[in-house]
Structure 1
Amino acid sequence: MTTNAWVAGVGMTPFGIHEQASVKQLTASAVNEALADAGAELTDIEAAFFANSTQSALEGQFTVGGQIALRDMGIQGIPVVNVENACASGASAFHLAVTYVRSGAADVVLAVGTEKMHVGDRRLTMSVFDGAYDVSSPEELEAVLRTLGGDVEEPEGHRSVFMDIYAAMARNHMSQYGTTQEQLAAIASKNHSHSADNPRAHYRTPMSIEEILGARALAFPLTVPMCAPITDGSAATIVCSDRGLARLLADRAVRVLATSLATGTDRDYRTFAGHVSEIAAKRAYEQAGLGPEAVDVAEVHDATAFGELLQLEVLGLFAPGEAGAAALRGETTIGGRLPVNPSGGLESKGHPIGASGLGQVFELTEQLRGTAGSRQVEGARIALAENGGGFHRGEEAVASVILLGAQ
C-alpha cells in the first residue's frame, strides 16, 4: 500500500457569472489547466471524482453528470464517480482521490468540482438550498434556530435559508462571547481586500468596515457583503502517488499531509465543543502528526463572515471567543499572525458549491509554491483548508479538513 499522496497540478476557472459557459466547458477549462500544470496528459488519468451539487436541480441532469462532462473532453473508459456532499462536495472529491491513490488503486487521479448556478431563474437557483437540511422535519429546523438565536426574524429580502442559519449561530456566539457586528465586518472587509488581488475572484472591490456595516441588512447581524454570492466556476486537482509523480513532468508538487471528513454527533449544539469541524480537524492533525500551531495559512468556509470566525475557533487556530477580536487587530490579514482566506474566501472569491473546496486547494497550492503574487503569505510551509456544508441539528452536516505541506 502506498502512503504518500501529492497535489501534482491544479486548475481553476475565474469564479463569477458565466452565463454563456456550460458545465462541460467550465469543467474542461479547469481540468486542462490542472493537466498542463502537472505535466500530464488525459491518458495519464486513471480515475476521476466529479463534484457537483446543483446540476440535477437546475438542469435536470441527474446521476451521471461526471461521466457526461468528462467524456466530452476525452476522458473515457476509466472509473468516474459522482460526488454530491453539499458545500463540501469538492473537498469530498479530493478526499476520495487521495484515499484512492493511497490505497494503491491508481497512481494518477483527477478530482474536479464544477457548478453552473446562474441559469436565468434566480428563484430556482435559490431553491437548491432548501433541501440541504432535514426536509422531513422542517419544524426541527425552526426550533433549532429559535434555540440558537431567539425569535426567527422575518426575511429582509430574498435569500437562502442558510443566511438565517448563520445569523442564528452568530447571535448565539454573540450572547456567549460578546462577539460584535463590527468584528464580523472586519472579517468581511479583510476578505474583500484580499480578493482585490485575486484575478480569479468573483468580487474584486475592497470594502471598509463602515461600508459593510452600512450595507443592506439580511438577518441580524449579517449584511450582504458578509455573505457569499451565487457563483459559477470549476476547480480541479491532479492527485498522484510517488510512482505517479515520478512519471509526470511535475516539479512543484505539494504533499498531502492529511485529509479528513466528518459528520456531526448528538450533543448540546448551543455550545461549540465537539463541533463537526473540530472532529475532522483532530483526525487531520493526528494524521499529519502536527497541531494547529503549525499552520501558516488557512482557507476556511466563510459562506458568511461568521462562518470564518466559527471555524477558526473550532479548528483550534484561535481560542473560543477570540477570532473576532483577532480580525479587528489584523491578525488574520496577509502579513498578520495567521493569514486566513488570502484568496478572498467564499465571501469574495465566490462559492460555486461543488468547486469551492477544490478552489481552496488551488489557492493553498499556490501559497505553498510561493506563486501567489501579491497575495503571497511569506514563508508558508503548512496550509489548512476547511470546507463544510449542509445543516443538521445545530451544525454543518459535513465537514472536511485538508492539510498540505510544501516540499
Structure 2
Amino acid sequence: MAEQVWIAGVGMTKFAHHTDREVPGLAAEAVHEALADAGLEQRHVEAAFFGNTTQGALQGQLMVGGQIALRGMGFERIPMYNVENACATGATALHLAVDQIRAGAVDIALAVGSEKMNVADRDRTMAVFNGAYDVSDPAGLTAALTDLGGESDDSHAGRRSIFMDIYAAMARAHMKRFGTTQRQIAAVAAKNHRHSVHNEKAQHRREFTVDEVLSARALSFPLTVPMCAPVTDGAAAVVVCGQRGLRRMAARGRLVRVLAHVVGTGVTHPRDAWDQHISGLLAARAYERAGLGPQDIDVAELHDATAFGEIQQTELLGLCEPGAGGAAAEAGVTALGGRLPVNPSGGLESKGHPLGATGLAQVYELVRQLRGEAGVRQVPGARVALAENGGGFYGGEEAVAAITVLGA
C-alpha cells in the first residue's frame, strides 16, 4: 500500500523585483521559513528537489543549480535533484518529492523553486519564454496560433512574451466558440487584483476596476497588461512527510494531507476537442485518486498567467460548465465570498509568476487556507483545495500540467 503523504511546512518569499538578491538567497529564505513552519531542522530532510527554469539562460548557471543553492545553506549528503518543467516546474518538484514519500524511499522531503528573472537586459528575459515551445518549428507555432485564434494585427502592442500571444489566441478561440467577452476576462483580472490587496507577499497590490483593466495598455487582443502576469523574482518551498516522518513533528494539528497529485502530458486531438484537453484529463485522474469530485472543492489556485487562463481552467477542471467560466467570474462566483473562490492569493496576474516557484506558491496559499491562517483572504470552512499548474505549449495546449488536491 502506498505511503500517505502530508504537507508539514510551507514557505515563500515576497514576490517582487529583487534587484539585490540571487537565486540561492531567495531559495534559502523560502526553505528556512518552510522548515520553521514544520518545526523541523535541515538535518531532518532526506531528499530535495530544486525547481528553476531561467537560471541557465539569465545567470549562466547551466547545471547543479540546486546543489549550489542548497549546499550553500547547509544541506549536505542528501540526494538533490534539479527540476525543469516550464511553468509547471514547482508542481513537478513537489510531485517528485511526494513520490519519494509514497514509495517509502524517504520519510521527509523538500521541494523548492527559486527564480531571478529580472535582469538588466529585458530582452534576454523575454527571450527565455521562446524556449517553452518547439524551437525547431517556429512556423508550426505561427500556424497553431492562427488555427486557434485567427489572424490578429498586434503591430501596435508593446513588448511582451510569446505566451501572451499564445493565451490571446486561445482566448479568441474561446470567445468565438462560447461567446466569452473581453469584459468577462477583465472581470477575472479585477477580481484577482482585488484579492492581492490583502496578500503581503504579492508583487502587485493595487486594485483595478473592470473598466480600468479594459482601458489599460493593449497587448495581443483581447488581453491588456493588468490581465497578464508580470516578470517576477521569488521562491517558495514545501516540506512533505510520510507516516514515519510524523514522529518528528511537534505540531501535527497543522498538517495538510496530499489527497492526489498528478503530472502529465496531453494526447493528440483536434484543437476544438474540449473534452480531450490536458487539464481535464489530468483532473479526472486526480479526482479519482482523491475519491472526490469538482463539487467537493472549496477553494482553488489556478494557473492564470493571463486572466483568460483562469476562465479556461475553471471549465476544464469541472468547476463550472464549459463556456460558463467568464459568466461565473462576472457574477462573483469565483471571488472571495462567492460559491467557489479561485485565486484568493491574487493569482499569477498580481501575486507574480517566478516560473519555477509558481506551483509551490499555489500550494503555500492553499495550505494556509486549509489551516485557517489566510486572514482577510480566508475562505470560511475550507476543507478541500485544488491547485492547477501548467507550462509550455504543444499542440494547441499546455505541454505539461499538474493537478494537486489537498485536504485539511
- TM interval, shorter chain, is over 0.9
Q: Distance in 2 between matches of 1:69 and 1:342?
A: 30
In 1, Cα distance between the equivalents of 2:154 and 2:286?
39
Shift in Å, 1:2: 4.4
Distance 1:331 1:152 in 2: 31
Preserved contact between residue 154 and residue 219 of structure 2 (Cα < 8 Å): no
Provide the rounded CA distance (Å) in 2 between the counterparts of 1:300 and 1:387.
Answer: 7
Q: Counterpart of 1:253 in structure 2: which amino acid?
A: L
* CA displacement at 1:342 relative to structure 2: 0.1
Q: How does 1:2-401 map to 2 (within 5 A)?
A: 2-155=2-155, 156-251=157-252, 252-401=254-403
Q: Secondary structure at the match of 1:148?
A: helix
The percent identity for this pair of structures is 62
Contact 1:262 1:279 in 2 (8 A): no
1:377 deviates by 0.2
Which of 383, 392, 405 is residue 403 of structure 1 equivalent to? 405
In 1, Cα distance between the equivalents of 2:221 and 2:154? Answer: 11
Q: More displaced, 19-28 or 145-154?
A: 145-154
Runs (5+) with no aligned partner, structure 2: none
Give the letter for the 1:351 counterpart: H
Deviations 1:180-199 (A, max 9, x none): 00000000000000000000
1:163 shift after superposition: 0.4
What is the deviation of 1:247? 1.1
CA RMSD between the two structures: 0.8
Cα displacement (A) at 1:272:
1.9
Q: Is the 8 A contact 1:37 1:250 kept in 2?
A: no
Q: TM-score, length-normalised on structure 2?
A: 0.99
Structure 2 letter corresponding to 1:84: E
CA shift digits 1:152-176 (9 cap, x unpaired): 4334111101000000000000000
Partner-residue secondary structure (3-state), 2:139? helix
Amino acid at match of 2:118: H
Matching residue's letter, 1:13: T
Query: 1-side partners of 2:151 and 2:141: how far apart?
Result: 13
Note if contact 2:57-2:128 (Cα within 8 Å) is conserved in structure 1: yes
Distance in 2, Cα, partners of 1:250 & 1:147: 53
Quote the Cα distance in structure 2 between the aligned partners of 1:335 and 1:67.
43
Check conservation: 1:7, 1:256, Cα contact below 8 A: yes
CA offsets 1:22-58 (integer angstroms, 9 cap, x no match) = 1111000000000000000000000000000000000
Provide the rounded CA distance (Å) in 2 between the counterparts of 1:51 and 1:279.
Answer: 24
Cα distance in 2 for partners of 1:152, 1:327 equals 26
Contact 1:87 1:389 in 2 (8 A): yes
The one-letter code sitting in structure 2 at the alignment partner of 1:295 is I
- The SS at the match of 1:141 is helix
Q: Which amino acid aligns with 2:284?
A: K
Q: Give, in angstroms, the shift of residue 62 of structure 1.
A: 1.0
1:272 and 1:213 map into 2 onto residues whose CA distance is 27
Deviations for 1:207-242, whole angstroms, at most 9, x for unmatched residues?
000000000000110000000000000000000001
Distance 1:280 1:89 in 2: 16
For residues 46 and 279 of structure 1, the distance between their equivalents in structure 2, rounded to whole angstroms, comes to: 33
CA contact (8 A) 2:152 2:221 kept: no
1 CA distance for matches of 2:123 and 2:250? 46
Tell me the secondary structure at the aligned position of residue 383 of structure 1: strand
SS for the counterpart of 1:273 is helix
Say if 1:24 and 1:70, in contact at 8 Å, map to a contact too: yes
Aligned length: 406
Distance 1:126 1:249 in 2: 45
CA shift, 1:126, in A, is: 0.6
Q: Tell me, yes or no, if the aligned pair for 2:154 and 2:221 is still in contact at 8 Å.
A: no
Instruction: Give, in angstroms, the shift of residue 250 of structure 1.
Output: 3.1
Letter in 2 for 1:173: H
1-side partners of 2:99 and 2:379: how far apart? 29
Residue 63 of structure 1: how far off its partner (Å)? 1.9
5+ residue gaps, structure 1, are none
How far has the Cα of 1:285 moved from its partner?
A: 0.5
